[in-house]
Structure 1
Amino acid sequence: MAVLALLGLLAILLAILHFGRCRRPDEPPLDRGLIPWLGHALEFGKDAVKFLSEMKKKHGDIFTVQAAGKFITILLDPLSYDVVLWESRSKLDFNPYARILMDRMFDVRLPEYDPNEEKAMLRMTLQKPNLSSLTKAMSFNLRTVLLYDPSIASRQWKEEDLFHLCYSTMLRAGYLTLYGNEMKDYEDVASQTKDQAHSLEVYNEFYKLDRLLMKAARSSLSAGEKKKFDSIKKDLWELLSVKRLDGRANRSVWLDSYKQHLVDLGVDEDMQTRAMLLQLWSTQSNAGPAVFWLLLFLLKHPSAMAAVRGEMEKTLSRKQTTGQVHEISQEKLDSTPIFDSALNETLRLTAAPFITREVLQDMCLRLHDCREYRLRKGDRLCLFPYISPQMDPEIYEQPEIFKYDRFLNVDGTEKTDFYKGGEKLKYYTMPWGAGINVCIGKFFAVNSIKQCIFLFLTYFDLELKDPKAKIPDFDKERYGFGMLQPEIDVIVRYKLKEQ
C-alpha cells in the first residue's frame, strides 16, 4: 500500500509538472523551478539579490518566476521603468499587495482602502507648509533623546552598538515628533524625562517586533514565533492606543489628519490603534538604518568625514552648545551638496525596496527598446532598482564602493547625468520609489537624517572601537522592504565634547 501511495504521489507531481503553466510565445521567459507550486520561493526569500542576479544572467532583464504559487514578472531595465510607474491603475495597481502585507504584518484591514488616495490626503501634512514645524519639532525631540540623556552627561566615553544607537535615536525622536509629547513644553525637564522613558519603551517593543516582521510578511513564522509576534503587537497596541494618543501634547497635523481619515473610513478604535502601529513602521523604520550606514561609511572613510564636517561647520557658521537649541533653517538644510551626495551614495548602496504591482487584467508591456511582452491577469510585476540601476556597473564605476562625491559635479553642484546603453537615465537611483508611489515623507526624512548627523558630529566625539572592523554584510531577508539592516552590529565609543 505504501508503494502504491508513493507511486500515486509521484504521478500527481508529474502531472502538475506536465500540465502546469507554460510560457506563451509573447510572454517573458518563464522559470518555474523544480518544486511544484513552491517554485523558487526559498531562493528568492533567502537572498533576493543573488537569486535575481542569476535569473538575469540566465534570462535577460525581464523574466517570470514562480514562487509559492504566485507568478512574478521581474523587470530590471531602468530605461523601461516609466512604463510601469505611470501605467493606469486599472491595469497595474499596488493596492491589492498593500492589503496583503497590512494584514499579514499588522492585522490591519481597512474598508475602502486606497493607498493613493491616502497618500494624496497626507502629502501636505509632511511637506510644505507643515514641513517647517515638523523639522523644528524633530530638532527638539532629537535633543531630548540624544543630548539630554543623563547617561551621557558625565562626558565619559560610552560604548554602544552603532545600529542600536542610530535606530533608537531616530525612531524615538520621530515617534515624539509625529505622535506627540507627554507635555507641551519641549524644554521642561520633567517633560523631557517622561518623553525619554516613554519613547524608549515604545522603541524597545518595536525593535522586538521588527526582528519578526520580515518572516510575517512572507508568512514563514513558526508557531512559537507567531505567538511571540502576536504578544508584542498587543503590547504595542496598548502603547499606541488612540485614546492614549488623544491625550498627548504637540501632536502633528499628520497624526490628527490620519486619525480623521480612519474615522471617515468607518474604522473602529481597535482597528485605528492597529493602523497607528502600521504607520509607526511605515514612517520610522528607514531613517534610523540610513543614519547608521551613513555614519559608518563616514567613520570608515576619513576623507568623506572631513569633507562633510567642513561643509557642516561652514553651513552652521556658529558655535553650538548643548544647553541651547539652535534651529537650523530650511535654507541651510538645503545648502549641503557634499552631505547630499554622501547621503545619496549611502542610499544607493543600502536602500533595496521592491516596487510591486498586481496585474489586474491581461495586458501588453512595451519596453523602452520596443520589445513587447504579454502579462497575465493575476500575476505580479516587480521592479528591483537595487540591482539596476543602483548596483549596475554599466551605470556606476565600482558600484560596490562608497564614494562620497559620486553625486557631485566638478563644480560642486549635484550630478544627475548617468547613462546606460548610451542613454541618459531618468531613474539612476530609487531609494524613495518613483512615479505615483514616491515616498511622501521624503523631505521630512532627509531633514531628520541631516539633523541627526549634524548633532552627532557637532556635539560628540565619535569613533569606532575597532578602527579595522569591517563593514558588516546585509541581513539578506530585508531585501525588498526598504532600508537594509546589518547582519551584525558595530561597536562605537562616544562622549559629549568639551564645550
Structure 2
Amino acid sequence: MAFTTEIVQRLSEYSQIALFHLSNLSTIQIAAILILLPIFLNVLSQFLYSLRKDRAPLVFYWIPWFGSAVGYGMNPYTFFDECQKKYGDIFAFMLLGRIMTVYLGPNGHEFVLNAKGSDVSAEEAYKHLTTPVFGKGVIYDCPNSKLMEQKKFVKNSLTKDSFRSYVPKIKEEVYDYLSTSKNYSIGSGKINGIANVMETQPEMTILTACRSLLGDEMRKKFDVSFADLYSDLDKGFTPINFVFPWLPFLSIYKKRDNAQKSIAKTYMSLITDRRKRNDIQDRDLIDTLMKSSTYKDGKKMTDQEIAHLLIGVLMGGQHTSAATSAWFLLHLADQPELQEELLKEQKRVLQGRNFKDGLTYDDLSEMSLLNNVIRETLRLHIPLHSIFRKVTKPLVVPNTSFVVPKGHFVLVSPGYTQLNDKYFPNANKFDPHRWDVNKSSSKEASTTVDYGFGAVSKGVSSPYLPFGGGRHRCIGEQFAYMQLGTLLSVYVRELKWRLPNGVEKISEPDYQSMVTLPLSPSLIYWERRENRDD
C-alpha cells in the first residue's frame, strides 16, 4: 500500500515538472511536441511490433491511425506489388485504425475464403458498411446461417429455365435503351455519336436486371431516375463509409439513406398490393420470395426484409454487370477487330435465324468468344479488388509462425493474382483468346460443399476467382454471364464502336470506390451497322 502511494506521489511530481516546463514553451514549441510525440510513439510501437516473431511484417507508416491508407487507396494493386517485393506474400498494414493482414496468391485465397466461420466473420467486417445500403435483417445484418438460407431463396429464380425467359426481356430492354437514351437515341434516326459508358452501363444494368428478375409490374415503376437512386446507393460503398458508416451531415450519406428508403418503399408497395389481392404466382423473384422464404426454424422473412433483400440482389448485380460491361465496351473499342469476330460467331450460331427474335439463352452458351470476352474482362477488372474478414479468435497462418490476433482483419485480393504474369502470361493485355483452350489455369478441387444454398466447389486455390469463393461465393455468376452476354450480343449486332478521335487508350481504373470502375467520363464513338438483321 505504501509502495503504491509512493508511485502516485512520484507521478504527481513528474506531472507538475512537465507542466512547469510546458508553461515556459512557446505555442509553436507546444504544437511541435503535440505533433511529434504521437509520431515518435507510433514509430516506437512499430519497432517493438517488428521484434515479435508471431506477427506478419508490418508495412511502415509515419502517420498514426491513417497508416497506409493513401497508398492502398490510390492503387491497391501497386501497393500490394511493392509490399510483396519487400515482405513476401504475407504482410500487414494499418488502414484507418485497423490492422489488415494480407495473404496474396492462391494460398491466400484458401486461407481467407475457406477459413472456418468460427475463426473469421464477413458479417463483422461488412455489416456496418452494407446495412445502411441494403437495410436491416438481410445479407450481413443477420446470422450467417440465415444469410445462407437467403441465398438459397434467391437461387430459386436463378435456374436455366428462368434464364431462358430472361433473355428476350433483357434483349428488349437493351433495344429500348439504345432507342431512347440520350447517349444513343437511335430511335430518332441517329446513326452515330459519343456515349459515356459510365452513364449508360449503370442505367442499362439496373433496368435489365429489374425487368428480368423483378418482372414487368415492377419494371413499370422503374425509370432512369430509379437508376440514379441505385447510383446513390452505390456511392455508399466507399472507404470512408467503411470507416465511418454514419455521418448524417455529409450529402452522400443523406442521398444514400434517402435512396434506400425510396427503393424499399417502392418494393413494399408492390408486395403489399399482391398480399391484399392474394396475387402471388411464379412471375418473378418477388413472387418467389413471398412464397418461399421460410427459414428452417419456421420463421418467415418479413415483407420489409424481402424488400431489403431485393435491394441487395440488384445491388450485387449492379456492381458486377455495370462495371464489367463498361470495361468490355472500352476494351472492344480499343480492339474493334474483336467486334467483327463476335459478329461472325453470332451469325454462325444463329444459322440464318433473325437475331432480334431468334437469340436464345442456349445460343449464348454456344458463343465461346462472347463468354471469353466476359471472362477476360472479369480477369482484368474484378469488381472487388479486396475481400475482408474480421478475425474472431486468434488465427494461425499455415506453415508460418504468424498468428493474426482477434479483432484484426485478414485481406485477400484475387484481382491481384489475376494480374500476375506467373498465372496469366502477359497478364495486363486484354486477350479473350487466352481462354480458348482452358477455362482455368489451375485445377479446382473436385469436392463440393453445401453451406446452405446449394453445392459449390470447396477449392478456392484457383488464381481466377472473380466471383469469390467459399460460403460467400456470389450466387449470381450464371445470371451475370446471361445478362452480359445478351447485352453484348445486341451491341455487336446493332453497332460498331471505337475510341473517340484523340483518345489513345482506355480509361484507368478508379479505386476510390470499393468497386473498380473506369474513371469517368469514359467515352466511345459509335455508329450503326448496316444490314443488322442478316
1:117-151: CA deviation from partner (whole Å, max 9, x where unpaired): 42444346436873322442343144134247454
The reply to whether residue 130 of structure 1 matches residue 159 of structure 2 is yes
- The 8 Å contact of residues 101 and 409 in structure 2, kept in 1 or not, is answered as yes
Matched with 2:110 is: 82
Matched with 1:179 is: 214
User: Using the alignment, how far apart are the partners of 2:158 and 2:37 within structure 1?
Assistant: 66
Gap runs ≥5 in structure 1: 184-193
More deviation, 448-457/102-111: 102-111
- The 8 Å contact of residues 39 and 62 in structure 2, kept in 1 or not, is answered as no
Matched with 1:64 is: 92
Q: 1:425 to 1:140 in 2, by over 3 A?
A: closer
The reply to whether residue 140 of structure 1 matches residue 169 of structure 2 is yes
Matched with 1:113 is: 142
Deviation of 1:88 (Å): 1.2
Matched with 1:210 is: 234
The reply to whether residue 459 of structure 1 matches residue 494 of structure 2 is yes
Matched with 2:353 is: 319
1:382-407: CA deviation from partner (whole Å, max 9, x where unpaired): 1111222x111222222111112111
1:347 to 378, 384, 403: 378
User: Using the alignment, how far apart are the partners of 1:128 and 1:277 within structure 2?
Assistant: 15
More deviation, 129-138/29-38: 129-138
Deviation of 1:487 (Å): 4.2
Deviation of 1:378 (Å): 0.9
Matched with 1:189 is: none
Matched with 1:301 is: 335
Matched with 1:187 is: none
1:243 to 259, 268, 271: 268
More deviation, 302-311/108-117: 108-117
- The 8 Å contact of residues 116 and 436 in structure 1, kept in 2 or not, is answered as no
Deviation of 1:48 (Å): 1.5
Letter aligned with residue 140 of structure 1: K
- The 8 Å contact of residues 259 and 272 in structure 1, kept in 2 or not, is answered as no
The reply to whether residue 199 of structure 1 matches residue 223 of structure 2 is yes
2:360 to 324, 328, 331: 328
Deviation of 1:494 (Å): 3.7
The reply to whether residue 417 of structure 1 matches residue 441 of structure 2 is yes
- The 8 Å contact of residues 236 and 252 in structure 2, kept in 1 or not, is answered as no
Letter aligned with residue 210 of structure 1: D
Matched with 2:254 is: 230
3-state SS in 1 of match to 2:328: helix
Matched with 1:165 is: 200
3-state SS in 1 of match to 2:205: helix
**Mapping of residues 372-383 of structure 1, within 5 Å:** 372-383=401-412
1:300-342: CA deviation from partner (whole Å, max 9, x where unpaired): 22342233222222112233254xx335143x32222222222
User: Using the alignment, how far apart are the partners of 1:297 and 1:65 within structure 2?
Assistant: 33
Aligned pair count?
471
Deviation of 1:427 (Å): 0.9
1:338 to 369, 375, 379: 369
3-state SS in 2 of match to 1:72: strand
1:258-305: CA deviation from partner (whole Å, max 9, x where unpaired): 897599878776666555434332232221221222222223223422
3-state SS in 2 of match to 1:163: helix
Find the structure with the greater CA-based Rg.
2
Matched with 2:464 is: 429
2:325 to 281, 286, 291: 291
Deviation of 1:44 (Å): 1.8
1:18 to 27, 44, 51: 44
Sequence identity, in percent?
18
User: Using the alignment, how far apart are the partners of 2:380 and 2:340 within structure 1?
Assistant: 21
3-state SS in 2 of match to 1:286: helix
Q: 1:43 to 1:285 in 2, by over 3 A?
A: same
User: Using the alignment, how far apart are the partners of 1:45 and 1:297 within structure 2?
Assistant: 24
Gap runs ≥5 in structure 2: 1-22, 275-280, 444-458
- The 8 Å contact of residues 423 and 441 in structure 2, kept in 1 or not, is answered as no
Letter aligned with residue 469 of structure 2: A
